[in-house]
């Protein structure tokens, strides 16, 4: 990898730029930003060798291009990028949803570039270049999602990119990805946001009594609302199905608790504790 | 305060013992433990001046007694303690539910001892003496719940105890406490446990892809199952009501998301983000 073009200077793009500069110093890093104000910010932060609003100047010489913008913006940017890149350039993205991104981007890059979807699971409730860190990806899981017909060499190069910044790699189909990430990321985000919203609606003053438990349980709800609206829309059918089944589970728990069926409540809590304890091993 | 008797060597009792020894060295700390094995453990940990299974020996000379056991065990222990203590001893507890604890303990201590309920909100998913820390209470909120007819001096002494170990004090009626803590602690615990349970039932392998968001959102679910079963039982009507209204909110969100009403989804997420951000100020 001689030149990496990163499109979008947010938490994920900015952290990738910093990580590659720290770990692969011989690689030139170019960064595309959409807004004029962001050019100065990114230059001042010194995250890339070249920062510009000019997409062609950023991607023309790149052998790898990473789309780091909200999922709903990807098709438009991808369509602008495709005619500008080397036909052999590997293109990937950091979107939190893969089915619709892969469906939209595969045809765009069919003739120029070799596209493979990926999702480094290193986001947080923070956002923006100011939160970017060169160690953001260390120890994170990155799910690479080769589609039918993906170029095996491009898949390997995509995996290599994320390994270089410290990720461990898993491979799933785009559809498997969306179901798994729906469960461990999208549904938890929705529940955390719904909990904050509900508690404030029931009794705004009760949050004065919150401890670390409430803070932990709701932390992700501080994530950017527009970005998450886009994620839920992009994984709509999966999230609605999972949420509805989760509601069914909560209704069963409510029924057991109301009926004084404390043996069932204990069994449920003991199962949950055992499963949660396994996460720490 | 010349002698503090702590009944129960768990996370909260053990941490209170350590905190008082560190901050109020002139106060003698006595500790009652139920199980024979726990006597040696507590003595080895050096958390108290005197450790015993003999309730009379632990409480006889105490001017303050703190019940630090699961809420469902409190009435039985309180009934054994009442005949053994000084008539002027202040008695409090650390139970996470106050309505039923106060209802049960006020008559027990009507003739001997002066009871006031309290709830230092310093618990975590950890438990046991091995997790006890002298700084556990620093910066925590302690809700003191004077009942009708509570002795004002005993209320003041209870507040003073928790202030000495670093808590800031709020005062609520037992019923107000149970509603507020239901929202910020009991309901979040139930949702976190239900989420872990649901995700493992839907797809056990998906937890391999979990990031910090899932870990944060579900952390409290590692709390002791038996203790939490007791808490839910003790605050049953409040928790069932709050859970059912929360389910209603989730159903509305599911409907908006399924219908593609993304403006409503955005508004809900933006409100939740704003509320969660306020917690960090």
Per CB-CB distance under 8 Å, the chain B contacts of A250 are 191, 194, 243, 246-247, 250
Q: Are residues A100 and A120 in the same domain?
A: yes
Percentage of chain B beyond pLDDT 90 is 95
* pLDDT, average across residues B4-18: 97
Contact B167, B140 (CB under 8 A): yes
Answer yes or no: do A164 and A57 share one domain. yes
Total residue length of chain B: 281
Give residue B126's pLDDT band: very low, low, confident or very high (50, 70, 90).
Answer: confident
Shortest alpha-carbon distance between residue A111 and chain B (Å): 32
pLDDT classification of B123: cutoffs 50, 70, 90: confident
Token pair of B23, please?
Answer: 């901050």
Judging contacts by C-beta atoms under 8 Å, the chain A residues touching residue B233 are 260, 262, 265
Average pLDDT, stretch A126-139?
A: 93
Q: What count of other Cβ atoms lies within 10 Å of the Cβ of residue A138? A: 13
- B163/B223 same-domain check: no
pLDDT mean across residues, chain B? 96
ipTM here: 0.91
Mean pLDDT score of chain A, rounded to an integer?
96
Rg (CA), chain A: 21
pLDDT of residue B196: 97
Could you list the residue range(s) of the whole structural domain that residue B195 is in? 176-279
CB contact under 8 A, A211 and B122: yes
CB within 8 Å: B233 and A193: no
Q: Model-level pTM?
A: 0.91
CB contact under 8 A, A253 and B194: yes
Considering only CB atoms, A180 lies closest to which of B179, B206, B278, namely B206
Beta bridge partners, A143, equal A119, A170
* B115 close to B92: Cβ distance less than 8 angstroms: yes
> Which residue intervals of A136-235 are DSSP H helices?
152-164, 174-181, 187-202, 212-218, 225-234
What CATH number has the domain bearing residue A55?
Answer: 3.40.50.720
Please, is B204 exposed, middle or buried when counting C-beta atoms within 10 Å of its C-beta (0-12, 13-18, 19+)? exposed
Is B250–A191 a contact, with Cβ atoms under 8 angstroms apart? yes
Residues A86-113 have pLDDT tens digits of 999 999 999 999 999 999 999 999 989 9
Query: At A254, which CATH number?
Result: 1.10.3660.10
Q: Are residues A10 and A143 in the same domain?
A: yes
At residue A281, does pLDDT exceed 80? no
% of residues, chain B, pLDDT over 70: 100
So what's the pLDDT on residue B38? 93
Token look-up 């056990």 returns: B204
Q: What mean pLDDT is predicted for residues B196-223?
A: 94
The single residue listed with the structure tokens 């107000």 is B176
Quick check: A94 contacting B, CB < 8 Å? no
Say which of A170, A191, A254 has its CB closest to residue B240. A254
Compute CA distances B99 → A174, B95, B112, B198, B244, whole Å.
Answer: 51, 10, 21, 31, 21
Task: Report in angstroms the alpha-carbon separations of B173 from B102, B176, B228.
Answer: 10, 5, 22
Q: Is residue B173 exposed (0-12), middle (13-18) or buried (19+ Cβ within 10 Å)?
A: middle
Q: Where among A148, A172, A196 does a domain terminate?
A: A172
Determine, for residues A273 and B222 on separate chains, whether the beta-carbon distance falls below 8 Å.
Answer: yes
Look at chain A and count its residues.
281
d(CA A221, CA A205): 19
pLDDT at A125: 79
Task: Note the pLDDT of residue A165.
Answer: 98
Last residue of a domain, one of B110, B141, B172: B172
Window A:161-190, CB contacts with B under 8 Å: 170, 179-181, 183-185, 187-190
pLDDT band at A36 (very low <50, low <70, confident <90, very high): very high
Tell me the pLDDT tens digit for each residue of B32-76: 999 999 999 999 999 999 999 999 999 999 999 999 999 999 999
**Model pLDDT, residue A124:** 78
Instruction: Name which of A123, A197, A251, A281 to mutate to probe chain B: the one with the most chain B Cβ atoms within 10 A of its Cβ.
Output: A197
With cut-offs at 50, 70 and 90, classify the pLDDT of residue B127. confident
A270 touches chain B (CB under 8 A): yes
Give phi and psi for A63, each to the nearest 5: -95, -10
Domain total in chain A: 2
Of B150, B172, B194, the position where a domain reaches its end is: B172
Contact residues, A window 224-253, toward B, CB-based 8 Å cutoff: 224-226, 228-229, 232-233, 236, 239-240, 242-247, 249-251, 253
User: Tens digits of per-residue pLDDT, A152-162?
Assistant: 999 999 999 99
**Co-location of A123 and A222 in the same domain:** no
Residues B148 and B189 in one domain: no
Q: Where do the H-state alpha helices sit in B165-261?
A: 174-181, 187-202, 212-218, 225-234, 236-258
B124 has pLDDT over 90: no
Co-location of A166 and A223 in the same domain: no
Kindly give the residue spans of alpha helices, DSSP state H, lying in chain A. Answer: 11-23, 36-45, 55-59, 74-81, 99-108, 152-164, 174-181, 187-202, 212-218, 225-234, 236-258, 262-279
Q: Are residues B26 and B94 located together in one domain of the fold?
A: yes
- Say if A259 is an interface residue toward chain B (CB within 8 Å): no
User: Which residues 43-62 of chain B have a CB within 8 Å of chain A?
Assistant: none
Q: Determine the distance in angstroms separating the CA of B234 from the nearest CA of chain A, rounded to an integer.
A: 11
CB contact under 8 A, A140 and B198: no
* pLDDT tens column, A215-264: 999 999 999 999 999 999 999 999 999 999 999 999 999 999 999 999 99
CA A167 to chain centre: 13
Strand ordering across the sheet containing B3-7: B50-52, B28-32, B3-7, B64-67, B90-93, B114-115
Do B41 and B167 belong together in one domain?
yes
- Mapping DSSP to helix (H, G, I), strand (E, B) and coil, where does residue A115 land? strand
What is the chain A residue with the closest CA to B125?
Answer: A213
Contact B104, B72 (CB under 8 A): no
A213 and A137 within one domain? no
| Whether the predicted pLDDT of B281 surpasses 80 | no
Tell me the nearest-neighbour CA distance from A163 into chain B, angstroms. Answer: 16
Residue A280 — pLDDT band, cuts 50, 70, 90?
A: confident
pLDDT of residue A258: 98
Q: Does A137 touch chain B (CB under 8 A)?
A: no
Query: Are B17 and B106 contained in the same domain?
Result: yes
Query: In terms of domains, do B122 and B22 share one?
Result: yes
């Amino acid at each position: 990898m001689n030149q990496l073009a990163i499109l979008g200077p947010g938490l994920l793009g900015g952290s990738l730029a910093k990580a590659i500069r720290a770990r692969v110093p011989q690689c030139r890093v170019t960064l595309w930003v959409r807004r004029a104000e962001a050019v100065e910010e990114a230059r001042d932060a010194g995250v890339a060798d070249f920062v510009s609003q000019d997409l062609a100047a950023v991607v023309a010489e790149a052998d790898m291009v990473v789309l780091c913008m909200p999922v709903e913006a990807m098709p438009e940017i991808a369509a602008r990028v495709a005619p500008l890149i080397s036909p052999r350039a590997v293109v990937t993205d950091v979107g939190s949803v893969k089915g619709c991104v892969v469906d939209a981007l595969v045809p765009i890059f069919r003739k120029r570039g070799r596209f493979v979807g990926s999702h480094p699971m290193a986001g947080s409730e923070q956002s923006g270049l100011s939160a970017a860190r060169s160690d953001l990806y260390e120890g994170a899981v990155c799910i690479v999602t080769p589609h039918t017909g993906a170029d095996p060499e491009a898949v390997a190069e995509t995996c290599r990119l994320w390994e270089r910044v410290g990720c461990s790699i898993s491979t799933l189909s785009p559809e498997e990805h969306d179901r798994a990430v729906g469960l461990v990321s999208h549904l938890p985000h929705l529940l955390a946001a719904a909990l904050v919203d509900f508690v404030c609606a029931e009794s705004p003053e009760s949050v004065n009594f919150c401890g670390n438990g409430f803070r932990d349980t709701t932390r992700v709800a501080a994530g950017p609302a527009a970005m998450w609206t886009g994620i839920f829309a992009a994984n709509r059918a999966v999230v609605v199905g999972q949420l509805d089944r989760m509601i069914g589970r909560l209704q069963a728990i409510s029924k057991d608790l109301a009926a004084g069926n404390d043996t069932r409540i204990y069994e449920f809590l003991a199962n949950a504790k055992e499963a949660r304890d396994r996460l720490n091993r």
